[in-house]
Amino acid sequence: MKKIGKQTYNIKDDVVIRDTFTVVGTKEGEGPLKNNFDLIVDDLWGEDSWEKSERKFQKTAIETLLNKNRLQKDDIDLLISGDLLNQIVSSSFAARDIGLPYIGIYGACSTMALSMGVGSLLIDGGFASNVICATSSHFCSAEKQYRLPLEMGGQRPMSSQWTVTGSGAVWLSNTGKGPKIKNVTFGKILDLGVTDANNMGAAMAPAAHDTLKQNMLDTKIDYDLIVTGDLGIVGKSIVNRMFHDENMSIEKKYDDCGTIIFDIEKQDVHAGGSGCGCSAVVFGSFLYKKLLNKEIKKLLFTSTGALHSPTVSLQGDSIPGIAHCIGIEG
Amino acid sequence: MKKIGKQTYNIKDDVVIRDTFTVVGTKEGEGPLKNNFDLIVDDLWGEDSWEKSERKFQKTAIETLLNKNRLQKDDIDLLISGDLLNQIVSSSFAARDIGLPYIGIYGACSTMALSMGVGSLLIDGGFASNVICATSSHFCSAEKQYRLPLEMGGQRPMSSQWTVTGSGAVWLSNTGKGPKIKNVTFGKILDLGVTDANNMGAAMAPAAHDTLKQNMLDTKIDYDLIVTGDLGIVGKSIVNRMFHDENMSIEKKYDDCGTIIFDIEKQDVHAGGSGCGCSAVVFGSFLYKKLLNKEIKKLLFTSTGALHSPTVSLQGDSIPGIAHCIGIEG
């Protein structure tokens, strides 16, 4: 068994992150990472619905990643993707147009690490040579589905987060050069009873703490940087406090994609960025570049998901959280 | 690479289907397979919503499978599950209560074969010794989400199918005795432009034909029985015709779980059963027993999914289909 410790999978063979492609919307393109993204477009991008626009983001990310590397369909064994929309419709329609054998996954905002985790194991297990992992989210399609119609102009509390409009695609391969995925920890679902759809950071923080801690206990690796997906300032502070209370403080080397992607004070995003696209585009641009140029040598990349369902929330249910970790060496 | 042919993964090491558990609702319990199911309950099962009932079906299937085999949480490496409801909420809430490391997947009604496929590769790749794969569906929660409120009493056309109320859980292991999974084919998404949410069989048939054909070309195995998940009488006849037109007729050894689970003439289910639960409970009861007692020696089990999204259907989009195949030896 290729397990280290209790819950972490060890990747012995090479799983190389060969390349990435990121495309984001206007607001993300005005933020601190604007020079890191591959493509910045307007949020509707010529489509007549937010859903069709989100699909175009994901399809473009995957297709451009293939094209810029001169990859043909036959070069890729599997596409693994998912997103926030019901029936992961952005992913399935993008996958339909791209025509690769397809594994659809759902992990809410934990999708990027989940897809890279499954992809890594399938490559290391000898089942695939090249895998494309992708996800997307869109502020407007997400608000419409999960909260309130944008046209209503509802007031958002300070704990709410801004769903990132963007898509990231990652090419994993068993050959070539680049940062390598060394371990994967799939998380458990934790639920501390948060019921506020405008406080996803708090809903996800316990799961983030649990999977991060498990990975660190299992691997005993001293990471340069630990990054969570989209906890925002509320969730990030809870995670810091949970580790601090256990005398395992990670504060000095810990950051969150939701606080990296926006200028929280100037961009009016309340508690920060969120959505599947958040960790996908921050990883595929900013973090990937830092791994390539060796600014980061050991990265613990964690995507965090709030398994929020509007239907069962109306029936009184809470919002469980999950997090998946990927250990990467630059 | 453990690939045979173009798109099929060869399982060399033992991936044994150690045990299954199935629980179904009233109508399924009155059908031809009534003596095959492990548990038959009423559809609401003491809960105050269809969603909470469906969740109880899935949680019960998984927990009972663990308990009857005296399996502790630490014995199981991963839970892989998904369902039809938005945010796969039946699966994530069941997974929350069970507390295992969790991979959420979405493949609409193709979920059972998808989860068993991913699980098999992770076991064969040396990442897991024991995996639980599960899915569920519920007639009432599915009609509510995908079509019309039941209370409306809408007339259903003859091509419509009856979503199975039930859940099946499967224990895959790298040790012990039982039928073995020998190969896995993950399908591509195909879309021939069907837009009728009451004709899922036609939407799924091209994908079923494509993945089945690919598996047979790749493996060259002469299966005793080929089974699709939930095409019903409309989709089944399309698949038969597609193979017939290519001089590859499979009619004599081909059947569909949607036509097996109900007495279509007497039970007023129109074109037959459907839903993730359909192939899950037919496989977990009827087919698994036939594999155990060697009535079937070589089974090609295929779950078929219609990636129907009510939101984008209202925007004029069609319903793409997908199918995943598992080759099993008794």
pLDDT tens-digit readout, A247-292 = 999 999 999 999 999 999 999 999 999 999 999 999 999 999 999 9
Q: Measure CB to CB from residue B87 to each of A99, A126, A308 and give the nearest one.
A: A308
Share of chain B above pLDDT 90, in %: 98
Per-residue confidence (pLDDT) for residue A285, from 0 to 100: 98
Per-residue confidence (pLDDT) for residue A313, from 0 to 100: 95
The three-state (H, E, C) secondary structure of chain B, written as one string:
CCEECCCEEECCCCCEEEEEEEEECHHHHCCCCCCCCCEECCCCCCCCCHHHHHHHHHHHHHHHHHHHCCCCHHHCCEEEEEECCHHHHHHHHHHHHHCCCEEEECCHHHHHHHHHHHHHHHHHCCCCCEEEEEEEECHHHHHHHHCCCHHHCCCCCCCCCEECCEEEEEEEECCCCCCEEEEEECCCCECCCCCCCCCHHHHHHHHHHHHHHHHHHHHCCCCCEEEECCCHHHHHHHHHHHHHHCCCCCHHHEEEHHHHCCCCCCCCCCCCEECHHHHHHHHHHHHHHHHHCCCCCEEEEEEEEECCCHHHHHCCCCCCEEEEEEEEEC
DSSP code for A188:
P
Residues of chain A in contact with residue B310, where contact means CB-CB under 8 angstroms, are 86
Q: To 10 degrees, what angle do helices A232-245 and A200-219 make? A: 40
Chain A, 20-79: which have a CB under 8 Å from a chain B CB? 48-49, 51-52, 77-78
pLDDT band at residue A8 using 50, 70 and 90 as cut-offs:
very high
Residue B222 and residue B29: Cα distance in Å, rounded?
33
DSSP code for A286:
I
pLDDT at B13 over 90: no
pLDDT band at residue B281 using 50, 70 and 90 as cut-offs:
very high
pLDDT at A1 over 90: no
Contact: A312, B51; criterion CB under 8 Å = yes
Size of interface A-B (CB pairs under 8 A): 172
Most distant pair of Cα atoms in chain B: their distance: 53
Residue B144 and residue B291: Cα distance in Å, rounded?
36
Contact: A186, B103; criterion CB under 8 Å = yes
Residue B329 and residue B142: Cα distance in Å, rounded?
33
Q: Write down the H helix ranges in chain A.
A: 26-29, 50-68, 89-98, 111-124, 139-146, 200-219, 232-245, 257-260, 276-282, 288-292, 310-314
B125 to chain A, any CB pair closer than 8 A? The answer is: yes
Q: Measure CB to CB from residue A121 to each of B48, B122, B315 and give the nearest one.
A: B122
Tokens of A157: 């509390």
Q: How far is B135 from chain A (nearest CA, A)?
A: 13
Contact: A315, B103; criterion CB under 8 Å = no
Residues of chain B in contact with residue A114, where contact means CB-CB under 8 angstroms, are 103-104
Residue B122 and residue B235: Cα distance in Å, rounded?
32
What would the pLDDT profile of A24-67 be if each residue is shown by its tens digit?
Answer: 999 999 999 999 999 999 999 999 999 999 999 999 999 999 99
What would the pLDDT profile of A161-200 be if each residue is shown by its tens digit?
Answer: 999 999 999 999 999 999 999 999 999 999 999 999 999 9
What would the pLDDT profile of A290-316 be if each residue is shown by its tens digit?
Answer: 999 999 999 999 999 999 999 999 999
What would the pLDDT profile of B209-244 be if each residue is shown by its tens digit?
Answer: 999 999 999 999 999 999 999 999 999 999 999 999
**Cα–Cα nearest to A259, from A220, A230, A295, A288:** A230
C-alpha dist (Å) from residue B117 to A205, B54, B88, B128: 31, 23, 18, 13
Per-residue confidence (pLDDT) for residue A13, from 0 to 100: 81
Domains of chain B: 3-173 (3.40.47.40), 180-329 (3.40.47.40)
Contact: B99, A312; criterion CB under 8 Å = no
Contact: B315, A107; criterion CB under 8 Å = no
A100 to chain B, any CB pair closer than 8 A? The answer is: yes
Chain A, 280-309: which have a CB under 8 Å from a chain B CB? 307-309
Per-residue confidence (pLDDT) for residue B222, from 0 to 100: 97
Residue B134 and residue B172: Cα distance in Å, rounded?
11
Share of chain A above pLDDT 90, in %: 97
Which one of B8, B87, B116 makes the best mutation probe of the A interface by having the most chain A beta carbons within 10 Å?
Answer: B87
B112 to chain A, any CB pair closer than 8 A? The answer is: no
What would the pLDDT profile of A77-104 be if each residue is shown by its tens digit?
Answer: 999 999 999 999 999 999 999 999 999 9
Per-residue confidence (pLDDT) for residue B34, from 0 to 100: 98
Q: Measure CB to CB from residue B101 to each of A103, A129, A186 and give the nearest one.
A: A186
pLDDT at B1 over 90: no
Measured between alpha carbons, how far apart are the two ends of chain B, in Å?
25
Residues of chain B in contact with residue A99, where contact means CB-CB under 8 angstroms, are 188-189
Share of chain A above pLDDT 70, in %: 100
pLDDT at A149 over 80: yes
C-alpha dist (Å) from residue A215 to A117, A164, B104, B122, B146: 13, 27, 19, 19, 39
Residue B5 and residue B216: Cα distance in Å, rounded?
10
DSSP code for A152:
G
Which one of B52, B106, B324 makes the best mutation probe of the A interface by having the most chain A beta carbons within 10 Å?
Answer: B106
pLDDT band at residue A145 using 50, 70 and 90 as cut-offs:
very high
pLDDT at A204 over 90: yes
Q: To 10 degrees, what angle do helices A139-146 and A50-68 make? A: 140
